[in-house]
Amino acid sequence: MKIRKALLLLSLFVIPFFGIQAQVVNSSYVTKFGEKALQFSIVVPADKIEVWKLFTTDKGLEKWIAPVVKTNMKIGGWIRTNYDKTKTTEDTTAIQLDIINYLDSEMLTLKVNLNDNFPQQARNEDKNLQEIIQFIDIGKGKIKIISTMVGWGQGNDWDKAYTFFEKGNEWTYKELLKLFNSKN
């Protein structure tokens, strides 16, 4: 827990203050109740409105997350993506994230629906898998984005899913950072 707090402090204050190249920080942990929390954070030079649009609009998401995107931004809505630009958001390879709730420019909670790329057992048990994304203004024109996935099941299939998302989420947030690094 002390290492996690040190990483959090480093990413909140030291990196933005000294202008060190932005990076993806993995601060994943296990809760007091034994549940895994897959957590990544980044700091970007932007305002909340700009960052919010990158997460909640088709055009914003197409810039960094996937070439094919369709959003229905409302509570009970969804975000659908496909990494294959020759396919649609209706294809079985598409990923659908249901929108559980949001607070404008502050927080977005998504229900992660495992697609056909995951074992059937994990897909049958994925009712609680969620991603909570927080947008925190840390001053000086910088926003800290914290993504935390919770609701993991247990067993070998779930361990594989966790490893998949650990690699995938890190890659995804590096893609987001590229948008801001190209502006400098």
Per-residue pLDDT of the chain (184 residues; tens, 9 = 90+): 444 444 444 444 444 444 445 799 999 999 999 999 999 999 999 999 999 999 999 999 999 999 999 999 999 999 999 999 999 999 888 889 999 999 999 999 999 999 888 889 899 998 999 999 999 999 999 999 999 999 999 999 999 999 999 999 999 999 999 999 876 5
User: How far apart (Å, rounded) are the C-alpha atoms in residues 104 and 51?
Assistant: 11
Q: How many CA atoms lie within 13 A of 151 on its CB side?
A: 18
**Confidence at residue 144, expressed as pLDDT on a 0 to 100 scale:** 97
User: How far apart (Å, rounded) are the C-alpha atoms in residues 67 and 70?
Assistant: 10
Instruction: Output b/e per residue, 89-118; b: 16+ Cβ within 10 A.
Output: beeeebbbbbbeebeebeebbbbbbbeeeb
**Confidence at residue 183, expressed as pLDDT on a 0 to 100 scale:** 65
Amino acid type, 31: T
Residue with tokens 């559980």: 100
What is the value of pTM for the model shown?
0.85
Whether 160 and 119 have beta carbons less than 8 Å apart is answered as yes
Instruction: Name all domains of the chain by residue range, CATH numbers in brackets.
Output: 2-181 (3.30.530.20)
